[in-house]
Chains A and B, each alone.
Chain A
Amino acid sequence: MEKAKSIFFAVLKYGSLLLGSFAALMPLVVVLFTSMKSRDEMANTSALTPPENWLNFDNYTKAFVDGKMLVGFMNTTFILTISIVGAILLGTMIAYILSRFDFRGKNIIMALFLFAVLIPGVTTQVATFQIINELDLFNTRGAAILLFMGTDIISIYIFIQFINQISNQLDESAMLDGASYITIFTRIIMPLLKPAIATVFIVKGVNIYNDFYIPFLYMPKEGLQVVSTALFKFKGPYGTQWEIISAGIMIVILPTLVVFLSLQKYIYNGFTQGAVK
């Protein structure tokens, strides 16, 4: 009886996990199948049938070249690198002064950053659009870079937590040696912040790579398309050519998969740390 019960629960447990994994993977696997099918195959086989030729990359070439994906990847890399480096620099700087010094207005600064996350991003674009326009940044990479570079309360919290763990005695002994606050920041605080920087880098990186509406709204020019907007354009001309669209989808997903498999542990930590606060 006991044994039957435990077998029942094991079946339930593994059964539900397999079902969950199936639900998570099935939509992706089918797109992978489709991306390697020819036009004819596509018309004559079920969506669930694997491709005849597993090495048929014709659709990939077509998606990559005709969809100008290279431009997308270059723009995304450029925007992502500059805005993350900027965001990390600005975030650590403000976190440093907020955690190490007491000064008037400190709580107001915290409150301003906190309230800012409540403002729903998509809707304020109505007004942000005008500001970007007035700054002559419409249809430039600068628009996306500036909008992504602003630091947010979650990064600030993560940095502050880390800085609070760094003993003040380190600062004080450096001060005895005559180090300035800037030296303390660059030589002592920054190097010890590496794990926090990795966390923020990953979370921001994933968000920027996946972001759609900022480049969509502010950089409609073809030469400025990023990965998301390049893929979105497949909707028009390839409307019914799902084998091409599928190849485009796989091209966009591949970098995410590689990053996930190689940085799994950091990614889990990054998202849990950022959210539990």
Chain B
Amino acid sequence: MEGSSLSNTLKERGNGGSRFALSFSSLSYKAQRRVIIILFSILPLALLATFSYLPLYRMVYYSFFSWNGFSKNLNFVGLENYMTIFTRPEYFSVFKVSLYYFFATFIQMGLALYFATILTFKIRGKNFFKGVLFFPFLLNGVAIGFIFMYFFRPDGTLDALLHVFGLSEFIQLWLGNPDLINISLAGTSVWRYMGFNFIIFLGVISSIPRDIYEAADIDGANRWHQFRYIIVPSIRRIIELNVILSISGAIAVFEIPYIMTGGANGSKTFVIQTVDTAFKFGKFGLGSAMAVVLLIIVIIVTLLQNKLFKEKGA
């Protein structure tokens, strides 16, 4: 008796999959629809909740406490963490470092736009140049960090190059001099990300129909006119978008300086400061408050961007 009911259950379990499929397809489409909506959204939403929104909520919560990350005692301190960020220069001054990366993005986009434009027209070795200019973007961040540690080290690639061109007198401690370090690091960032802007600009510019250029040629427009009146208007939005994204991007810089210098010699960015505060110095409350400040800046920038685009009637 017992045994047979057990084997029955086992059999039912074994058939579980196909039984489900059978019973699912025998449901009315209306009922199926309800089941599938829940079935197909539950896991993606569960992951989103657990790893995006729960951390967000916790982060805001911790930011009002003084806490070392593992003790059971969380001391409520109100807005003290936020006060610390905005009054103590060692926390606030790191925003200055972001300016280097912010300006570097303009150089990066200028180069990307220049190369995208000349590669749009007929040119020899197009695929080669396209590949070479884009390739750095695909590389591993740690590898890039090391490549440029070697590039900037004394007697490294840059010094050797200057030597070859008879410019030895300009040799500097590229990563040792606090006045130069952020320029060197921002330069590395340009090397890494230029290819990404470039490939996007190239994609957008190539989507402009050929006959527009031909018509312009017939009307006697030169390359500069074509650039100014055909290419620029068509990629204007994407440039604006990139400029605005570069603000939050510049504040969120982390990998390159962290790998190359660990934030030494005045190269600490806001995110390195945040990660160090929490994980190295065990100030999770303060670290969380810094993360919240960063998030608020990003949100403001995004809202600003949406507003700008809406006003233009885009």
Contact = CB atoms under 8 A, between A and B. Distances in A.
Interface stretch (A88-96, A162-170, A190-198): A88-96
Interface string A93-125: 110110001010000010011001011101111
B180 interface: no
B204 interface: yes
Given A149-B47, A150-B51, A209-B140, A119 B33 contact: no
A120 B143 contact: no
Main secondary structure of the interface of B (DSSP, over half): helix
B55 interface: yes
Nearest to B129: A17
Contacts of B252: 120, 122-123
A1 to B, nearest CB: 14
Given A20-B115, A101-B33, A181-B29, A252 B140 contact: yes
Contacts of B8: none
Interface in B121-143: 123-125, 128-143
A147 B51 contact: yes
Q: Which interface class (under 10, 10 to 19, 20 to 34, 35 or more) fits A?
A: 35 or more
B200 A276 contact: yes
14 contacts: A27-B151, A27-B157, A30-B160, A96-B40, A113-B48, A120-B295, A126-B274, A126-B291, A127-B291, A150-B44, A181-B33, A242-B153, A256-B139, A268-B203
A22 B136 CA distance: 12
Given A21-B132, A30-B157, A249-B143, A151 B44 contact: yes
Contact of B32 (A13, A122, A180): A180
Most chain B Cβ neighbours within 10 Å, of A9, A25, A47, A213: A47
Contacts of B278: 126
Contacts of B137: 271
A21 B217 CA distance: 30
A227 B284 CA distance: 29
Contacts of A268: 130, 134, 199, 203
A103 B271 contact: no
Given A21-B133, A119-B52, A126 B295 contact: no
Given A24-B191, A150-B48, A31 B150 contact: yes
A34 B150 contact: yes
A94 B146 contact: no
A199 interface: no
B100 interface: no
A20 B129 contact: yes
Interface stretch (B56-64, B76-84, B91-99): B56-64
A56 interface: no
A124 B55 contact: yes
A160 interface: no
Q: Which interface class (under 10, 10 to 19, 20 to 34, 35 or more) fits B?
A: 35 or more
A181 B36 contact: yes
Nearest to B146: A249
A101 B37 contact: yes
B230 interface: no
Nearest to B50: A131
A246 B133 CA distance: 22
Contacts of B213: none
B59 A206 contact: no
Given A90-B43, A120-B298, A127 B56 contact: yes
B298 to A, nearest CB: 6
B9 interface: no
A178 interface: yes
A275 B238 CA distance: 10
A210 interface: yes
B299 interface: yes
Contacts of A16: 114-115, 118
Contact of B54 (A48, A131, A228, A272): A131
The 3 closest A-B pairs by CB, nearest first: A123-B291, A180-B25, A272-B203
